[in-house]
Homo-oligomer: A and B are copies of this chain.
Amino acid sequence: MVCKIEMCDCNVIHQEIVEAVKEQIPEDNRISVIAEFYKIFSDSTKLKILWALDISEMCVCDLAVLVNVTKSAISHQLKILKEANLVKFRKEGKNVYYSLSDNCVKEIIEKGVIHTLNKM
């Protein structure tokens, strides 16, 4: 029972299982969107920014000092966090103050934290 998908380099061992799983699994678009979302938390800098903002509103300069990278780096990452609707900001004079757009961020990373910190 040879694989019907051309680029595959192997036979299907259990056709029925593959078919069944294919029906139940989310489509590729959705998988990608979810992966995309988790990509944000997979970067130490972004994670640190989010964690910091969960503690206190902060400006770009403060975040740069805290994370120990350039303001530019922080600004680039904040842009990504903005696009993901995870942070919001308010301008005050020369400063721009960032904060979490909603407080579910901590909840989201909670599961992962529990899972990882148990092993340290």
Contacts and interface: CB of A to CB of B under 8 A. Distances in A.
28 contacts: A8-B70, A12-B65, A14-B59, A14-B62, A17-B62, A18-B58, A18-B62, A21-B55, A26-B51, A28-B44, A29-B120, A31-B44, A31-B51, A32-B44, A34-B47, A34-B109, A34-B113, A34-B117, A35-B41, A35-B43, A37-B115, A38-B47, A38-B109, A39-B42, A42-B42, A104-B111, A104-B115, A108-B112
Determine the main DSSP class of A at the interface with B: helix
Contact-size category for A: 35 or more
A61 interface: yes
Interface in A7-41: 7-14, 17-18, 20-22, 24-26, 28-39, 41
